[in-house]
Structure 1
């Protein structure tokens, strides 16, 4: 009995294999970069996590830095979608906190921010995040006496606290910053806090 010749994969199968490989490398890179940062991550360890040859990182992403920036670009796209102008500021902040604790992408973004050289940063009054908060302030969601830039930084600090100050979270709250209890408690407190940034309701004229 003769065996039939092995069939070569068609274009669609090759495309699916390529997408699976790319996705496996992205997931492995997310875990590795979150734990060790760009400098500390090793191509061989990322490839081992993904179960593929390390040469494929260069083939698909142009190297470790290309993979790193592909992950950051994906997070920026997802992050922009969280800033829904149709939801309250408190709900938006909770979505960011929830996203930060549902995967490693926020941890990678925070590492990137910590590594930035402040001497190379220029003031950007038209940064999209500030424009978004100014619009909310004009709509009466933030008291006019508050600086939108400060409100933005306040939200960033709370979202990042579990990663940047994990020991203080346990010391002051007695909670594991990776736990669902932490997310529930801090998310609730953040929503309460931001809801109180709106100007007080005006009493009806008599």
Structure 2
């Protein structure tokens, strides 16, 4: 059944979201917007409103804090996401996970495909599934195509942790949560993950919790 919100034009809905200023509310698992295919962006917001919306997403991502945010996570079913990762991690973590700083980026209509056959598994969390983490095996390298917020073509290969971020955020635009790809036996509260599974790689967790790794 169509909701009243679904009948409101996208531009009007975004204007309403931006009325209060500050971080936007992040919707959580169970909200239908997180399970729908987001609508391709084709100028629905206009340049000025798009710029305001992107800035609000950036503020929301920083406040959470997170390293990526997709438009459906703030209740807007458009194929738009933002990423940014200062990567303030120890050297051993950087080396194990390939986590390197990423500048602020806007991804419009992104699509990814694996670049090679290597897969890597690490604990992953999500702002829309608060309080938990789980191990997800993903392509270690992906080719991402799409556009930026100015309509310029994007065609770039991402590796390591940046590849994980763009896969996670693009998945949101397809109605997919990280839990759909996770090892069920690895599911851990943030507290348990901090107490037991803070190592750079999830090998110890795999042995203790009984799940496989690629």
Q: Same fold (TM over 0.5)?
A: no
| Bigger strand share | 2
TM-score, with length taken from structure 2: 0.29
| Bigger helix share | 1
